[in-house]
Structure 1
Amino acid sequence: MFITYEEALSWIHATRTFGEKPGLKRMEWMSSQLDHPERKFKSIHIAGTNGKGSTLAFLRDMFEANGQIVGTYTSPYIEMFNERISVNGDPISDDEILRLANAVYPLTIELEKTTLGGPSEFEIITMMMLIYFGEGHADIVLIEVGIGGSYDSTNIITPVVSIITTIGLDHMNLLGDTLSEIAANKAGVIKASVPVVIGKIEKEALKEIEEKATEQDSLLLKYNQDFFVTKWQTLPTWGEQFVFEDDFIRLSPIQIGMLGRHQVENAAVAIEALRVYSHEIGLAVNHEKLLSGLKHTFWPGRMEKINDQPLLILDGAHNEHAMKTLVETIKKNFAQQEVYIIMAAMRDKDIQGMVDQLQGITNSHLILTSFDYPRAAGIEDLNKVMLENGTVTNYWQEALVESLNEMDENGVLIVTGSLYFISEVREYFKTADK
């Protein structure tokens, strides 16, 4: 058993290598020993390649504005480990992490003695989350899938509503080489007779989701078919404005403080999921409060503006699909400005694909760099990338100084790539502001 929070955290992080066999058997075994905590709360399950965190944030703020106590389970964390399990946006305490780790620890010892083997870090944290919310700390719990869907440790829940935000090529070593294979895995979150809300998804991937929904007799609600966004425009003050409608409601005008067409789509998915959830459980929703919640939604590291002059933005576009979206946002919003981009990524990502997207921006200066993380792409990896117009720099701090020295006050500096990288840079600026 653990005496301190630090001991508990060290143990959680040290379990990374265990539980590498896919499947839900370890989660089901642990859950059965604890009288199934996942059955004791209402939830919305959020899967997808990109957009999960932002969709969750929109949902959290709409529910909270309507008086609900909202639990969330997210990854990775940006500032502190505890934020992975939060209530109304506030991370649970160190004492709670210690208590929950001590509750899960004996189960892991027993599990290691079985043929199933010990659990992974993510399975342990997921079990901690299920125990916590099974105790009744929230009215609604928003649960973000870790990777995929079918075999993700969160998939032992039966939510009130399931969400699939987007499908792109990511985690291909685990999920498959094609969009349809990845979609089939993510569609594993669809449960019998549980409604599913989906974002903008390509035809090849959509086919898999439609087949799974039909097989599970689940109502499938699609962006641009069952719910719509119209009159979209970018606000001069930073953010977007649009109108939302489906067969039941029309909301106008909606304003969000997050930049990019993709955030409009994420917000639309969140609104539709909230409407379906409230219908399923009989929750009265005030539309004015809903609009207020959306307006104030913030999600760190997603087109996050941290300085005005020069304009400095952090965006965790950590795969090719997300990078394509970032490039579209840059081209739309910063076409008249010089754009400086600093990117660091994980070694297992399609770095060339990400760089190719960025090289499509004509008014840009690109610097590839590394950061202090075991899975980060190092300088050797980056030197193999075909760069038409860009440089490789050993340390991101150097890249930052170099870019800030070169750019004028009208320039834009975007730091992008891995969310772990964004977290490190964000912490640097936060410390510098003190």
Structure 2
Amino acid sequence: MSEATMTEIASFERVEQAIDWINSLIPFGIRPGLERIQLMMDKLGNPQRSLKFIHVAGTNGKGSTCAMLTSALLACGYDVGTFTSPYIEKFTNRFKYNNEDIPDSTLLRLTNEIKPIVEQIAATPLGSPTMFEVATAIAIMYYATVAYPDVVVFETGLGGRLDVTNIVTPIVSIITNIGHDHTDILGDTIEQIAAEKAGIIKPGVPIVSAVEQPEAIEVIRRKAAECSSSLYLMNEQYKVVPHHIVENEQTFTFTGPFRTMEQVAITMNGAHQLKNAAVVLMALEVLRQYMAFVIDDDTLLAGMHQAAWPGRLEMVSHTPRILLDGAHNPEGALTLAQALRDTYRYKGLHIMIGMLSTKHHEDVLRHILPLADTLIFTEPDFRKKMSAMDLSLIAERMLATAERRPHIMVESDWREALKRLKEITQPEDLAVVTGTLYLIADVRSHVLHRTDSEKGW
């Protein structure tokens, strides 16, 4: 039997089969390194070389930054591919073209095309490509051979230097910020994590960043100098001045090296989104100034205002008021706490939280505990979940000497926990669901009745 015939027999007939196969690679875990993705690209003819990428790294804010970049570029008339992770509802959310998911038929065809290559590599000493490596390869194939966007907004999965997405050479690179996340892989210190993120900086490619810690700035500045890359750093080359901040509307002035833009408005909530918006504007200014991108001010401002990102300070219900925020690391919890103090108004605050066992539980809870009137500990439907009881015991220990303590409830079933959250939230109160995005994804689909939501990423 010929190889072509064997491949044909092995081909998937339905997109669900293709997605199941991709997800079956999850047990191979996170394996930093570019050898497997480079080999896949070589066998596919290196399609990534035909695309213009904006490469986005950072601890928090990557998704929001990608959403604003996409919205602004679309408004200015560009066709945009957007590759992000994790997804909130469906696997196809990862691969967007002009804000529309990849068609099922296209995902099926591309998966069947790449599957024999994956199996060839799996038989070598390199071992099987991971789920994220295969997803990244599919994204590149989609944009390079099917959609043909003017630009691809490309989010890193984890870190930067050894992240699979680092196979590309972008037209501009972005590092949103540096914080403590994935320390088991990226390192325990800000300097170590910054060095990994700075790995996306390529020779001669401009780099835009909102990093604030002096030690992280030094790492990025040194890497940019080594690569002869122009560095645009917040509060040095550009800055943002907030003006009017209310729920669902923030206005600010952006001042960069080329010009000042006043009365920029976004609907995303939280002071951190102003920084993300400034990063986006600076990156677009680089494209406008040096790469002949045609960016009209009115359409740019409209695109920034229209940008939205699910699961981050997202109000999904008004009776009762339920706010979702995937604050899964200490820096994310801090930005949530700041928003709860500065942006939202409520009489009582009831917080439901579920986390993974690998996260910094005390550092997250430290920001949440002082604000809550009620804390409901629950568990996401995920193999690496943290026990709700164990998480509550950590909180109890931290509250032992506190002057003010919330009412604590433990309900391992997130559906029951959500039911209890709704019951105790009065009209003047605010309910918040936070923690891992695995929990946020399920709660969001449940509240919004998205019955076609898929599980996992």
Identify the range of structure 1 (170-179 vs 299-308) with the bigger mean alpha-carbon deviation.
299-308
Counterpart of 1:177 in 2: which secondary structure? coil
Structure 1 residue 304 and structure 2 residue 324: aligned? Answer: no
Instruction: Give the whole-Å Cα distance in 2 for the aligned partners of 1:150 and 1:45.
Output: 12
8 Å Cα contact 1:54/1:266 also seen in 2: yes
Q: 2:446 aligned with 1:428, yes or no? A: yes
What's the Cα RMSD here?
Answer: 1.7
More displaced 10-residue stretch of structure 1: 378-387 or 286-295: 378-387
Counterpart of 1:397 (choices 409, 412, 415) is 415
Partner in structure 2 of residue 212 of structure 1: 223
What is the aligned partner in structure 1 of residue 292 from structure 2? Answer: 282
Question: Equivalences for 1:121-270 in 2 at 5 Å?
Answer: 121-135=131-145, 136-235=147-246, 238-270=248-280
Deviation at 1:335, TM superposition (A): 6.0
Secondary structure at the aligned position of 2:395 is classed as coil
> Which structure 1 segments of 5+ residues have no match?
none
Deviates more, 1:384-393 or 1:205-214: 384-393
432 and 123 in structure 1: CA distance in 2 versus 1, 3 angstrom threshold: closer
Alignment of 1:53-72 (within 5 A): 53-72=63-82
The answer as to 2:377 corresponding to 1:377 is no
Verify the 8 A CA contact 1:309 1:410 in the aligned structure 2: no
Identity %: 36
Select which of 80, 85, 91 maps to 2:95: 85
Check conservation: 2:62, 2:176, Cα contact below 8 A.
yes
Residue 106 in structure 1 maps to residue 116 in structure 2:
yes
Q: Distance between the aligned counterparts of 1:404 and 1:23, measured in 2?
A: 45
Structure-2 separation of matches of 1:249 and 1:308: 40
Residue 352 of structure 2 contacts residue 418 of structure 2 at CA under 8 Å; is this kept in 1? yes
Is the 1:150–1:185 contact (alpha carbons within 8 Å) kept by the matching residues of 2?
yes
Where does residue 377 of structure 2 map in the other structure? Answer: 368
1:23 is aligned to 33
Find the residue that maps to 1:163 and give its secondary structure. strand
Distance in 1 separating the partners of 2:235 and 2:443: 36
SS of aligned partner of 2:377: strand
CA shift, 1:379, in A, is 3.0
Distance 1:416 1:28, change over 3 A: same
1:302 Cα deviation (Å)?
0.9
3-state DSSP of counterpart to 2:28: coil
Q: Which moved more, 1:166-175 or 1:383-392?
A: 383-392
- 2:342 is matched with which residue? 332
SS of equivalent residue, structure 1 residue 134? helix
The whole-number CA distance in structure 1 between the counterparts of 2:111 and 2:389 is: 38
Q: CA distance change for structure 1 residues 422 and 279 in 2, over 3 Å: closer, same or farther?
A: same
SS of the equivalent of 1:173 reads: helix
Kept in 1: contact 2:121–2:128 (CA 8 A): yes
Retained in 2: the 8 A contact 1:200–1:265? no
> Residues 204-259 of structure 1: CA distance to partner in whole angstroms, max 9, x if unpaired?
21111111111111111011111111143213x52211111112122121111111
SS at match of 1:377: coil
Contact 1:168 1:179 in 2 (8 A): yes
Equivalent in the alignment of 2:424: 406
**2:76 aligned with 1:76:** no
Change (3 A) 1:86 1:195: same
| Counterpart residue type for residue 152 of structure 2 | V
Moved more, 191-200 or 376-385: 376-385
Shift of 1:21: 4.1
Counterpart in the other structure of 1:120: 130
Letter paired with 1:418: T
- Give, in angstroms, the shift of residue 336 of structure 1: 5.4
Post-superposition shift, 1:371?
A: 2.4
The answer as to whether partners of 1:160 and 1:280 remain within 8 angstroms in 2 is: no
Q: TM-score, normalised by structure 2?
A: 0.91
Q: What's the counterpart of residue 60 of structure 2?
A: 50
Q: Contact between 1:19 and 1:117, CA under 8 Å: does it hold in 2?
A: no
Structure 2 unaligned regions, length at least 5: 1-10, 400-405, 453-457
Alignment TM-score, normalising by the size of structure 1:
0.96
The letter for the 1-side match of 2:446 is: Y
Distance 1:401 1:21, change over 3 A: closer
Question: In 2 relative to 1, CA 378–336 (structure 1 residues): closer, same or farther, beyond 3 Å?
Answer: closer
Conservation of the 8 A alpha-carbon contact between 2:207 and 2:232 = yes
**1:27-85 deviations in Å (ceiling 9; x for gaps):** 11111111111111101000000000000111001000000011000001111100100
> Alignment partner of 1:17: what SS?
helix
Q: Which of 283, 303, 306 is the matching residue for 1:273?
A: 283
Deviates more, 1:87-96 or 1:108-117: 108-117
SS of residue matched to 1:53: helix
Which stretch shifts more, 222-231 or 125-134?
222-231
Q: CA shift at 1:312, angstroms?
A: 1.5
Structure 2: distance between partners of 1:209 and 1:346: 30
Matched, 1:4 2:22: no
